[in-house]
Chains A and B, each alone.
Chain A
């Protein structure tokens, strides 16, 4: 587990703060074509109603204005992918939707689920109402067993263990093992399994393949693909192969705002656009 953690891009705070500074510098040249793209194409799918509407979402944490009026819609089926460079505010967006903005921060604007305003409602109530959350870095309870982690997450009288164990057979084999002693990939499966036990209206999933071995990435992507057939997903994902496989719509955040929205295919088909909006590694400049 520690080995895989070490492979991940370091502690968010420092790295992302730097990336953000880099990001604002390059966002303006990249911003022009993005804006053009947005106005040129018609709204992605005006016909099928969206499930979640985020409008003018602003988040300030400890004096930093991290999100500056983010607006996008999440379709009522399939996977909507949220993209952007490291530290641009993708996790902050998911957490704000769920009422998990830290106490030294504020979230303003509007988030509507099925037409109903949910911004500011307590997290536990939102999750009970059907927003399933899989956080960045998994957040399994290390001291609890796999079975206990799953039992804790049960929200219905009829949790769907059949589905979870068919997606991740490993979890049923390791039911009595402490979650802290699982590998990173197994922890990710547990974190997804906790949510998939219940029926949800929308899943919010934050970088489920981060720091995982290629083989495990494929396994997780397959599971996500299957899960997404039954429930809409708002997915934060940096691995473009996974994005290509799953994405319906794509939303790209840059410099605290939405820089591009449209079909995921279209974004990935344009290397120059992808590079200007997402080139996380290229921007590192080693």
Chain B
């Protein structure tokens, strides 16, 4: 029993990271048709900027409000980098899919190289607040607090995103644009402004995932973004392009499946099962769980 609880919470923690990366990826693809392979870079920028801020930014640190400030700095860095990537590199290439893929793949490789050049190829110990390493007892299981932190953070982001999509003008434009971008322009709306916004939001969520994955794994390395990105892509496809709640459901399914199969089966079997799940969903519902129409 206690093992199942611990596995569940750990799986949900993993799901939280997948969701934070996938939600932005999904909105960017759903609205702008951009398959953004550089999305993992935003995660790494968030992780390294948080790590750097904790050691160097006045007022920031590895505990209490200092850590909150460090994470805020990391999220800000990820947001700015994502918006710049859209404005400078993606915008000139809309509707040129192949070039776009090449640019984002190139950017992610260059980003990894730049991080290696700047901070070394080896993992760096991540400053994590000491309370995240404590445990609470839930149904006789001793659950580390860092997992609960990931879950709470993802739930807050999910709530904020859904509220944004539901209640704001830009949220309305994004939901409509995911359905039929051309018709949005035919109502007199410059939909490209929403592209930049969606990149920035996705960058912020991915950067937060970067900071939180640092807390969870205890270190950051230049390639950690790329490995999370693969599963985030799977989550996006399963959940349906452009659907935030679809991403949330798919992230939970993938996180739990991976965790349980890896524990009870041989290590690595969980990853294979995730790919199998992807295949099953695509055969059963080619547009993903949510389809392309429902964004919220």
Where the two chains meet, the residues of A that have a C-beta atom closer than 8 Å to any C-beta of B are: 98, 100, 103, 122-125, 127-128, 133, 135, 139, 141-144, 148, 151-153, 155, 180, 194, 198
Contacts and interface: CB of A to CB of B under 8 A. Distances in A.
A2 B179 CA distance: 18
Contacts of A124: 185-186, 188-191
A143 B294 contact: yes
B39 interface: no
B189 to A, nearest CB: 6
A127 B187 contact: yes
A125 B179 CA distance: 21
Given A103-B95, A124-B190, A180-B293, A144 B185 contact: no
Nearest to B188: A127
Contacts of B293: 142-143, 180
A127 B186 contact: yes
A169 to B, nearest CB: 23
Contact of A152 (B95, B173, B190, B294): B173
Nearest to A142: B293
B267 interface: no
A152 B184 contact: yes
Contacts of A103: 95
Contacts of B223: none
29 contacts: A98-B186, A100-B182, A103-B95, A122-B185, A123-B186, A124-B186, A124-B191, A127-B188, A135-B183, A139-B183, A141-B179, A141-B180, A141-B183, A143-B179, A143-B294, A143-B295, A144-B175, A144-B176, A144-B179, A148-B175, A151-B172, A152-B173, A152-B176, A152-B189, A153-B187, A153-B188, A155-B187, A155-B188, A194-B187
**Smallest CB-CB A-B distances: 3 pairs:** A127-B188, A128-B188, A143-B293
A121 to B, nearest CB: 12
Contacts of B175: 141, 143-144, 148
Contacts of B191: 124
Interface string B170-202: 001101100110111111111100000000000
Nearest to B95: A103
A228 to B, nearest CB: 20
Contacts of A127: 185-188
Contacts of A133: 186
Given A143-B293, A143-B294, A123 B185 contact: yes
Interface of B: 95, 172-173, 175-176, 179-180, 182-191, 293-295
Q: Taking each of B180, B182, B187, B295, which has the highest tally of chain A beta carbons within 10 Å of its own beta carbon?
A: B187
B244 to A, nearest CB: 13
A148 B187 contact: no
A133 B183 CA distance: 9
Nearest to B242: A143
A99 B37 CA distance: 31
B179 to A, nearest CB: 5
Contact of B172 (A100, A135, A152, A194): A152
A100 B188 CA distance: 12
Q: Taking each of A124, A127, A128, A135, which has the highest tally of chain B beta carbons within 10 Å of its own beta carbon?
A: A124
Given A100-B186, A124-B191, A144-B179, 10 more contacts: A100-B182, A127-B185, A128-B188, A135-B183, A139-B180, A139-B186, A141-B175, A142-B293, A153-B188, A198-B188
Contacts of B294: 143
A135 B293 CA distance: 19
B7 to A, nearest CB: 36
A204 B16 CA distance: 47
A151 B169 CA distance: 9
A143 B186 CA distance: 18
A125 B184 CA distance: 12
Contacts of A100: 182, 186
Given A123-B185, A180-B293, A142 B179 contact: yes
A141 B176 CA distance: 6
Contacts of A135: 183, 186
Contacts of B188: 124, 127-128, 153, 155, 198
Q: Taking each of A151, A152, A198, which has the highest tally of chain B beta carbons within 10 Å of its own beta carbon?
A: A152
Contacts of B173: 152
A137 B134 CA distance: 59
Contacts of A122: 185, 190
A144 B187 contact: no
Q: Taking each of B172, B176, B183, which has the highest tally of chain A beta carbons within 10 Å of its own beta carbon?
A: B183
B187 A152 contact: yes
Contacts of B184: 152
Q: Taking each of A133, A141, A151, which has the highest tally of chain B beta carbons within 10 Å of its own beta carbon?
A: A141
A205 to B, nearest CB: 12
Nearest to B183: A139
A54 to B, nearest CB: 19
Contacts of A123: 182, 185-186
Contacts of A128: 188
A49 B188 CA distance: 26
A164 B115 CA distance: 57
